[in-house]
Amino acid sequence: MLFETRFVLSFVLTLIIEIPILFVFYKTIFKLKKQSFLNLFGIGFLASALTLPYLWFVLPLYINTIYYIYLGELLVFLIEALIYYWLIDIKLSKALIISFVANLISFGIGVLIFIY
């Protein structure tokens, strides 16, 4: 499978996993009401659209070690948390929790699908 095809599939999978997690945490677990589903969808889409291409196409040009995936995922987690913090207007601790859980689950499922 082409690298670019794997990227597109990963991007779609990321959206399918992370946007519902964002919505569930925001509306159900944290019981916040300020943002509509459409706003949360847009913010979740934007967060992934801003970080995943850098993880796949830009970062490998500058980091060529076995730690690439760890450093890359850490940066994605932190940047997406900041995006949630700024655009959703929630506490940083809640943004970090949402980003951590969403990225952990999407990374784990991605590994299961693409490696095994």
- Tens digit of each residue's pLDDT (9 = 90 or more) over 21-80: 999 999 999 999 999 999 999 999 999 999 999 999 999 988 888 888 899 999 999 999
CA distances from 7 to 17, 39, 53, 86, 112 (A): 15, 25, 8, 27, 15
Residue 97 tokens read as 């929790």
Total count of domains within the chain: 1
> Residue 51: which residues within 8 A CB-CB, separation 6 or more?
75, 76, 79, 80
Q: What distance in Å separates the CA atoms of residue 114 and residue 9, rounded to the nearest whole number?
A: 10
Domain span including residue 57? 3-115
Helix axes 3-23, 92-115, angle to 10 degrees: 140
The pLDDT value recorded for residue 66 is 82
The pLDDT value recorded for residue 63 is 87
pTM of the model: 0.93
The pLDDT value recorded for residue 116 is 72
Other Cβ atoms less than 10 A from the Cβ of 38: the count is 8
Other Cβ atoms less than 10 A from the Cβ of 71: the count is 13
Q: What distance in Å separates the CA atoms of residue 110 and residue 113, rounded to the nearest whole number?
A: 5
Largest CA distance in the chain: 43
Q: What's the whole-number mean pLDDT along residues 78-96? A: 97
